[in-house]
Amino acid sequence: MDRCGTLQENGSLKSKDMNKNISLFVFLFLVIPIYGIAQGHGPLYGLQTPTLAKGGVDLNVAGMSLSTEDDTSYMLRYLFSYGITEDLQVNLTTPTMIQRLDNAPRTRGNSNMPANGDIEASLWYRFFSNAFGVGKRFESTAILGVSAPTDNIRGQVNVGNSIHGAISTGYASRTWYAWLGGGYQYYLERDNEQLGDLPYASAVVGYRPNIFMGDYPKPDWRVFVESVAEFPGDNQYLGQQDFTDSRSKKVLIGPSFLGLYGAWGISFGALFPVVQDLTPSAVKEKYRVSVNLSYWL
């Protein structure tokens, strides 16, 4: 077989693999929720503030995809949340990686889930809350998490455990929502290599049109415009000539939608890069897509 034929065959195989992955992703996403589900009632990507009721349980399953100029990743992620008090919530999230990226951008995924194959446990503490009207409240929440990777190598660098801290503040009403937040993830060194850190910030504005102002228990929809800014540091690895400690700068914006009905919630949305000032080793992103199902026990 000539080289051209081999290339065409490889391309066709890759396309078949891709289709298989997408089918598996869709299948698992549709099937797994039947056994118990998935996220919060805020934005999909940006940091948020709501915590569960005391004794409340929230089960989530999310399907996440991130596309770069090289390849596209697919992941299912499960999140279990429990309200220790009405202001303190514990979370545990685990991934099922369907297709990993060889060179994965360092980013957070959904608002309380990592975008990569990390298992993460976190505590949310709503340290300020002022409910000042019907459906209206200001609140602020601090997040502290630890994670362990399910992969040994990410972007050809050994992956270590990480710690993540974030803070967010927001306003919620029956019509308008707004959240601002910032966070930092730090990967520990493993076998003399270390993933770069990740400072980031997010801003979200949400709106519920009059048409969706039906009272409980009618379905409840809202739309968000979400924005995330990330400043991932470069990795350090063995044999590196000189570590310059430089950072990429990325800003992504996109819409998301949240529908709530009784104990169920579904959110879906996408982010598209509008600024990508990358270091030479960083990979260019094309889009991020996510779907999330929630069930409150």
Partner 1 sequence: METNFKTKEMKKITLITIVAILGTFSSYAQLQKVDQEVFGMDCAPCAYGLERGLKKMDGLQDVRVSLNDGKAYLELSENNGLSLTKIQEEVKTNGFSAQKAEVVIEGKLNTENGTPQLKTDTETYNIMNDASDDLSSKLKPGTVKVKGIVQDEEDGSLSGTWKIRVIEIL
Positions touching partner 1 (CB under 8 A) are: 41, 50-56, 86-87, 126, 129, 131-137, 172-174, 177, 213, 215-217, 219-220, 260-263, 265, 294, 296
Tell me the closest approach of the beta carbon of residue 136 to partner 1, in angstroms.
Answer: 7
What's the min distance (Å) between Cβ of 174 and partner 1?
Answer: 6
**Closest distance between partner 1 and the C-beta of residue 223, in Å?**
14
CA-based R_g, the chain, Å = 20
Nearer to partner 1, 61 or 101 (CB): 61
Nearer to partner 1, 5 or 133 (CB): 133
Q: Which is nearer to partner 1, 106 or 126 (CB)?
A: 126
| Composition of the chain by helix, strand, coil, percent to 5 | 10, 55, 35
Q: How far is the CB of 46 from partner 1 (least distance, A)?
A: 16
The minimum distance between CB 52 and partner 1, in angstroms, equals 8
Residues 90-120 as b or e (16 or more Cβ within 10 Å = b)? ebebbbbebbbbeebbbbbbbbbbbbbbbbb
Nearest residue (CB) to partner 1, 81 versus 116: 81
Residue 224 structure tokens: 């968000």
Distance CA 93, CA 112 (A): 9
Which residues contact residue 61 at a Cβ distance below 8 angstroms, ignoring those fewer than 6 apart? 29, 32, 33, 37, 38, 76, 77, 78, 79, 292, 293
Nearer of residues 31 and 211 to partner 1, judged by Cβ: 211
